[in-house]
Amino acid sequence: MPVVPYKPLDIQDPQELVSSIRARRGGTLLNLDRILLHSPAFAAGWNSFLGAVRNSLIIPAKLRELAICTVAIINDAEYEFIQHAPELIKAGGSEAQLAALKRLDDLSPESSEFDHQEFAVIKLSQEMTRSVKVNDKTMQAVKSTLDNDQQLMELIGVIATYNMVSRYLVALGIEPE
């Protein structure tokens, strides 16, 4: 049960904002949106920022979604995992990878489900989420697998962003649809 009630599915106001969120979501509002709409200013900023993170970065979608799913597992953010597991599959991930993420603490660089780059992304996501500080070896490993500094900066931004998202979801008790 959420900490604050969901706004109605048919909410219309503020019209421009609700229309913008619906457009980004393919015509519907998620439970997350229905909580965010308690603060139109917050919802507007969230919609703009998360829209850019999801749709305007050059980091490969598979790496982005792998990082997001890793954060969701660590933070016990079921809602986030349910939303992003299908996105990881669409981006080229596998059911075996999703299952392996649920055994996150047992993964090693030799894990057959993930290549060197994917494992480096998982390790970076773990360190940023659990301890904030990133080991130099981990940072060098992930950096060596990416094409450029922009991808590194974006990957770190995705991990930071979805740590924010998961903390928001969990603290407010937002339930999966």
pLDDT on residue 38: 98
Please report, for the chain, the start and end positions of each structural domain, with discontinuous segments joined by +: 15-55, 61-172
Question: What tokens appear for 77 in the block?
Answer: 């953010």
Residue range 72-108, pLDDT digits in tens: 999 999 999 999 999 999 999 999 999 999 999 998 8
CATH topology of domain 61-172: AhpD-like (1.20.1290)
CA neighbor of 169 nearest in space, from 89, 50, 64: 50
d(C-alpha 86, C-alpha 12), whole Å: 29
Q: What percent of the chain has pLDDT over 70?
A: 100
| Cα atoms in the Cβ-side hemisphere of radius 13 Å centred on 125 | 29
pLDDT at 109 over 90: no
Q: How many helices (H) and strands (E) does the chain have?
A: 9, 0
pLDDT on residue 39: 98
pLDDT at 111 over 90: no
Per-residue pLDDT, averaged over 4-26, amounts to 96
Model confidence, pTM:
0.96
The residue written with tokens 């979501």 in the block is 25
Are 161 and 53 contacting, i.e. CB atoms less than 8 angstroms apart?
Answer: yes
CA neighbor of 70 nearest in space, from 59, 81, 79: 81
